[in-house]
Amino acid sequence: MGVIAALICACTSTAKDLVSKAVASKVHADISTFASFLYALPFYALIFIVLYFCGEEGIVLSQTFLLLVLMRGISDVFAEGCKMRAFDTGDVSLVSGLLSLSPLILTVISPFITGDRVEPSEAVGIVFIVIGGLVLVRRDRATGKVAQPLAVLYALGGSLAFALNSALDRLAVGHAGPVTSAFSVTLCAALLTMPALLRVPSAKPELVHNSRAFLLRGLFETIFMVAKMAALMTLPAHIVVGIMRVSMIFTVVVGGAWFKEQDKKRRIIGTLIMYVGLMFLLL
């Protein structure tokens, strides 16, 4: 069941990334970040209400859970903010590939945060993931410098934050159900992001004008998070994220073709190398 839930995450992750890239050039990064939380809340609320009256989910107000929600909300704001800025300044295939370094980071930090043990085969997978990441970050042939350096920095920052997200999610589902956990952290992240909108005069018009795309992404986000939380109830965090990252193959291929991005061959090769590393994580 955990593997199936993680595979559902992989499918919806690709859909989320493609919608995010599509709206990146139309709205401010802070607005897109806030919308990723706000427009998921109606779907969370509907699912939670149904499951609550069915006796499957409940309201949790323990101090430990609320602290985890707050920490997760802060890290998620940083993660989504970095991702939206990366999509705004770089190609979807490059950004998605670098975001896929999160299993590597999670493999390192999991023993310290969640207590999940790291196996030798997972260490081998790390080597492949790093090599694949280096292939993804191409250099400009004329200057020799890293292409789209700002996007690279944002994507790496997002990868670190997403790894921390998953570790905190693993702890949160030990105190509440998957829907309650996902709903709580998303609501917290939305509240934390609201002050940033004060700096953007066009926030309200852009939220309304792009509401259809935001609602679609909100639906994908809800399915993604609920499935992820369900998977984390039975599998270690780094394994769940490893399975989730099969999505990068679809994102690089489909996104590269859809947005007519350059250097697709290098990024496909780099992504495939990273994929081999992820397979070692799952052995």
Under the banding of pLDDT at 50, 70 and 90, the label for residue 147 is low
Predicted confidence (pLDDT) per residue in 234-257, tens digit: 888 877 877 777 676 666 666 666
| Selected residue with higher pLDDT from 73 and 278 | 73
pLDDT of amino acid 65: 95
Nearest to 94 by CA among 276, 245, 254, 271: 271
| Selected residue with higher pLDDT from 65 and 248 | 65
Question: With 90 as the cut, is the pLDDT of residue 85 above it?
Answer: no
Using a 10 angstrom Cβ sphere, with 0-12 exposed, 13-18 middle and 19 or more buried, the burial of residue 195 is exposed
| Selected residue with higher pLDDT from 153 and 142 | 153
How many domains does the structure of the chain reveal?
A: 1
pLDDT of amino acid 184: 94
Stretch 205-232: mean pLDDT: 92
For residue 64, give its domain range. 2-281
Nearest to 104 by CA among 134, 79, 75, 130: 130
pTM: 0.79
What span, in angstroms and rounded, lies between the C-alpha atoms of 220 and 273?
Answer: 27
Q: Which residues contact 10 (CB under 8 A, 6 or more apart)?
A: 243, 244, 245, 246, 247, 250
What proportion of the chain, given as a percentage, has pLDDT over 70?
86
pLDDT of amino acid 137: 58
Question: With 70 as the cut, is the pLDDT of residue 150 above it?
Answer: yes
Question: With 70 as the cut, is the pLDDT of residue 282 above it?
Answer: no
CA angle (211 as vertex; 86, 257 as ends), nearest 5: 45
What span, in angstroms and rounded, lies between the C-alpha atoms of 34 and 38?
Answer: 6
Query: Which token pair is 215?
Result: 């609602």
Q: Which residues contact 31 (CB under 8 A, 6 or more apart)?
A: 197, 200, 202, 203, 206, 207
Q: Please, which residues bridge with residue 25 across strands?
A: none
Under the banding of pLDDT at 50, 70 and 90, the label for residue 93 is low
Under the banding of pLDDT at 50, 70 and 90, the label for residue 181 is very high
Question: With 90 as the cut, is the pLDDT of residue 81 above it?
Answer: no
| Selected residue with higher pLDDT from 207 and 130 | 207
Question: With 70 as the cut, is the pLDDT of residue 259 above it?
Answer: no
pLDDT of amino acid 1: 73
Amino acid identity, residue 76? Answer: D
Query: Which token pair is 29?
Result: 């990064």
Of the listed ranges 110-114, 209-213, 258-262, 267-271, the one predicted with least confidence: 258-262
Under the banding of pLDDT at 50, 70 and 90, the label for residue 212 is very high
Q: Please, which residues bridge with residue 139 across strands?
A: 146
The mean of the pLDDT values for the chain is 83
Question: With 70 as the cut, is the pLDDT of residue 60 above it?
Answer: yes
| Selected residue with higher pLDDT from 251 and 205 | 205
What span, in angstroms and rounded, lies between the C-alpha atoms of 111 and 99?
Answer: 21
pLDDT of amino acid 253: 66
